[in-house]
Amino acid sequence: MDNIKEYIDSLDKNDIPWDRMVTAYGTAKEYSAYLDILSDMGNIEVLDNVLDSISDFEHQETLFPPAPFALVFLVRILEKALSTENNPNADYLAEKLAEFLEYCYEACDNVQNSYEHDEPFENFSDMLDEKYLLPEDYEEEDIDEFFEEDYDGLFYSIYYYSDAVLSQVPEILDKYGKFPEISEKMKK
């Protein structure tokens, strides 16, 4: 088993095949650009639109394959926003991200405590195995067919590793003294 924390810390968004990962509404091909926009903490209206777009790795408490990877970068952006002083856009983004990450945590908690499931993959990186990605030359029907496959362990691994990423959030919120109610809820 790889060290999850080391893997999370070393993950580079350019190493993720976003364009071959299925979301609720297509693929995650724009995620790298979305993460850059969020990290820049520009116009609030743009931030809202991008947050709405990147949140398609979740739909009705169902997490899709890009979730644990996107969450790594969203948690990093949360910490950056919390550490940025005198920037109302950063404060706004931090609040929106904290709320969304709390929601994702609840989805993970519900699956882990409410359903029987397979064991998670041995390594976080196992979710990037070719068999869990769309073909490089995929077509629209490949996306639909993705959901018809039975990917042993993938479903639960998405939640397991998403939860591992989200477990960093209370510590980050406590470090900056922000959103104590979210921190406490996620600690339980």
Give average pLDDT by consecutive 10-residue segment, the chain, 188 residues. Answer: 85 96 94 97 95 95 95 98 95 97 95 81 94 90 78 88 97 97 93
Q: Give the residue among 171, 141, 123, 106 at the shortest CA–CA distance from 22.
A: 141
Q: In this predicted structure, what is the pLDDT of residue 145?
A: 81
Q: In this predicted structure, what is the pLDDT of residue 143?
A: 86
Q: In this predicted structure, what is the pLDDT of residue 1?
A: 44
Q: Which two tokens stand for residue 42?
A: 């520009």
Q: In this predicted structure, what is the pLDDT of residue 152?
A: 74
Tokens 């893997």: give the residue.
7
> Please, is 120 exposed, middle or buried when counting C-beta atoms within 10 Å of its C-beta (0-12, 13-18, 19+)?
buried
Q: In this predicted structure, what is the pLDDT of residue 144?
A: 80
Residue pair 47/92 in contact (Cβ under 8 Å)? The answer is yes
Length of the chain counted residue by residue: 188
Q: In this predicted structure, what is the pLDDT of residue 85?
A: 93
Domain chopping of the chain, boundaries = 4-187
> Could you tell me which residues come within 8 angstroms of residue 77 by beta carbon, excluding any fewer than 6 positions away?
35, 38, 39, 93, 97
Residue pair 61/107 in contact (Cβ under 8 Å)? The answer is yes
Q: In this predicted structure, what is the pLDDT of residue 57?
A: 96
Residue pair 73/121 in contact (Cβ under 8 Å)? The answer is no
Q: What is the pTM of this model?
A: 0.94
